[in-house]
Amino acid sequence: MTDNPTVIAIFGVTGDLARRKLIPSLYSNFIKGRLPERLRIVGVGRREWTDATLIDHAHQSLLNYAAPIYDERAWDRFRPMLSYSKVNLPQPETYRNLKDDLDALDGGCSNRLYYLSIAPEFYQDVICNLGALGMARENGRGRAGSAPTWRRIVIEKPFGYNMETAQSLNRVVHSVFDESQVYRIDHYLGKETAQNILFMRFANTIFEPVWNRSHISNVQVTVAETVDVGTRAGYYDSSGVMRDMVQNHLLQLLSLIAMEPPSAFDADALRNEKVKVLQAARAVKLQDTVRGQYIGYRSAEGVAPDSSTPTFAALKLFIDNWRWKDIPFYLRSGKAMGQKTTQVNIQFKRPPNSIFELTETGDYSRNMLSICIQPDEGIHLTIEAKIPDQQIAKSVDMELHYENAFVAEDLPDAYERLILDAINGDAALFIRGDEIESAWKIVDPIIEGWASDASAPPMQCYKSGSWGPAAADELLDREEHIWRLSCLHQNSVNNGDV
C-alpha cells in the first residue's frame, strides 16, 4: 500500500498564530525531513489573497520567526507546497470553493488536517460547514492500493468559555467528527520540559517511591509572565487569568505531576490517568483563592475602566485520592510579574528527627525538586549538605540545565512537536473532550464565586514587576508554607520567596 498525499488546511492563515508559530513549525519539520512526502499546505482565509500573496506572507513569516534555520534552497522546495483558498467562515456556500480547491489538489484522495487557528466564535460554523459537505468523512476513497484516508481537526484554545459552552462545543464537534479525529491544543503539553515530567517520573525508579503524601509536603506550580495585556485586551478582558491560563496550562502541568503511571505511552492510557486526577480534585474553597489585578491594567487600551478581570490568581487545591489526600497543590499565575518563569516545585517533608545542629533558620530546609519548564529549562534538587569545617547544614543545589546536558540538540517550539503529532495521528499531547470538561468543572465555581459571592476574597491590586499581591503569600502562610522558586536569574525581583 502507498501513502496518500496529506493536505493541511490552516483556517486563519492570515493571523498571528499562523505567522509566528504554525508556518515556522511546518518549515522546521520540513527541513528536518519529518513531514510526509506529497504534503500540501492550504492557507484558508477570508481575505482576497492569491497563492502568491500567501507565499509572500509565509516567506516573511520565516524571515521574521525562523531566521536561524532559514535556508534559501529549502525555501525553494517548501514554497510549491503552499496555496490559498478563500472562505468566508460563517457562509456555508463558500466552503464549496474550499472543497473544490482541496479536491483539485489530489482528486479527493488525500489525508486532511483542518487546523482551526481562528477566533473561537467561528469554531461551530467551520465544523458544521465541513460536516455539511462531508469533508470530515474518512476512509472514503483511497486510491486503489492506497491506505484509507484520514480526516483530523486541530482546535486551538480557548475551548469553551465555561463548562456549559465547552459541553455544547463538544456536542457540535462530535456531531461531525469522532473524538479520535479531534486534537484540542494546549501548547504547554508540547513544551519539551513539560513532556519531560513524564520521562522523569516514569523512566526513573528513584522518584516514584517518594511521590506521594507520605513524603511530599506540598506542590507549587508557578506560571509568571512579565508581559502585560498588551494589545490583547479585546480577548483578555472578557477572559482573565483563570480562563486564559489556569483552566488549561496550569491544570495540565498539575495533571502530569499528580497522575498515576499510565500502562503505556499512548493517548488513551495517558489521558485516562490525567482525567482521573482532574476528577479527583476537591471543590476549591473561595477562601483558598486569591485574585489580583496589576496596577495600570484598567488604563490599557481596550480594557473597561472599571474592569474586574483578574490578571493574577493563586489557589490551593486538593486531590482526593490515595496518593495525594490533604496535600496542598498551590497554583499561581499572573501577568506583569517580576520575571518570566514557569516552574513546578515539589517540596518534601522535613526529616522526622534532627541529630545535627540546626541551620540559622532553626530547621532543615525542605528538600525541593524543581522542574523548570521555561526559561533556563532544567531540573534542580535542593538538598541539605554539611558546610565544610562547620557542623551545620546548608541547602545546595544539584542542577541539570538543558543547555549543558543537551548541547547538540535545540529545544524545538511546542508547535513543532504538536503539529507533527497531529499529522502522525498521535493524540497523547492533546486534550480529550472529557478532560477539558473536567478542567472547567474545577475553575467554573471559582470564577462564578468571584463574580457573585459576597464572601469571596476581594480583588487585590499588585504592582507590575512584583510577584503578585501579598494575599498570595498569606495563602501559604496559613499552612506554614512559603512560595519557593528556583532557576531564576540572579537579579530577580524577590518579595520574600526563598
Residues of the shown chain interacting with ligand BG6 in the complex, contacts defined by CB under 6 A: 157, 225, 244, 342
Torsion on CA atoms 264, 265, 268, 270, rounded to nearest 10 = 100
Q: How far is the CB of 497 from ligand BG6 (least distance, A)?
A: 20
**Burial code of 436-461, b = ≥16 C-beta within 10 A, e = fewer?**
bbbbbbbbbbbbebbeeeeebbebbe
Q: Which is nearer to ligand BG6, 244 or 288 (CB)?
A: 244
- Whether 23 and 75 have beta carbons less than 8 Å apart is answered as no
At residue 205's C-alpha, the angle toward residues 416 and 421, to 5°, is 15
**Burial code of 241-264, b = ≥16 C-beta within 10 A, e = fewer?**
bbbbbbbbbbbbbbbbbbbeebee
Q: Which is nearer to ligand BG6, 83 or 342 (CB)?
A: 342
Q: Which is nearer to ligand BG6, 17 or 153 (CB)?
A: 17
Ramachandran sector of residue 295 (left: φ over 0; alpha: ψ -120 to 50; beta: rest): beta
Residue type, 187: H
Q: Which is nearer to ligand BG6, 244 or 437 (CB)?
A: 244
Q: How far apart are CA 347 and CA 497, in angstroms?
A: 14
Closest residue to ligand BG6, based on beta-carbon distance: 244
Q: How far is the CB of 31 from ligand BG6 (least distance, A)?
A: 23
Strands 460-462 and 289-294: parallel
Q: Which is nearer to ligand BG6, 152 or 157 (CB)?
A: 157
Q: How far is the CB of 403 from ligand BG6 (least distance, A)?
A: 18
Q: Which is nearer to ligand BG6, 41 or 221 (CB)?
A: 221
Measured CA to CA in angstroms, residue 52 lies from 43, 95, 98, 108, 301 at distances of 11, 21, 17, 24, 35
C-alpha cell at 186: 494546549
Question: Exposed, middle or buried: residue 128 (CB in 10 Å: 0-12, 13-18, 19+)?
Answer: middle
- Whether 98 and 89 have beta carbons less than 8 Å apart is answered as no
C-alpha cell at 289: 483563592
At residue 41's C-alpha, the angle toward residues 38 and 44, to 5°, is 150
Q: How far is the CB of 225 from ligand BG6 (least distance, A)?
A: 5
Q: How far is the CB of 174 from ligand BG6 (least distance, A)?
A: 24
Sheet of strand 341-348, all strands in order from the earlier edge strand to the far edge: 393-401, 378-386, 368-374, 341-348, 216-224, 329-334, 312-317, 289-294, 460-462
- Whether 314 and 467 have beta carbons less than 8 Å apart is answered as no
- Residue 329 makes CB contacts below 8 A (sequence gap 6+) with 218, 219, 220, 221, 254, 258, 316, 317, 318, 319
Q: Which one, of 180, 221, 175, lies nearest residue 197 by Cα?
A: 221
Count of residues in the chain? 498
Q: Which one, of 145, 140, 72, 75, lies nearest residue 109 by Cα?
A: 140
Q: Which is nearer to ligand BG6, 222 or 367 (CB)?
A: 222
Residues serving a catalytic function are 249
Measured CA to CA in angstroms, residue 163 lies from 318, 366, 433, 439, 442 at distances of 20, 38, 11, 8, 9
Q: Which is nearer to ligand BG6, 181 or 342 (CB)?
A: 342
C-alpha cell at 202: 516514569
Q: Which is nearer to ligand BG6, 5 or 468 (CB)?
A: 468
Q: How far apart are CA 54 and CA 8, in angstroms?
A: 14
Q: How far is the CB of 27 from ligand BG6 (least distance, A)?
A: 19
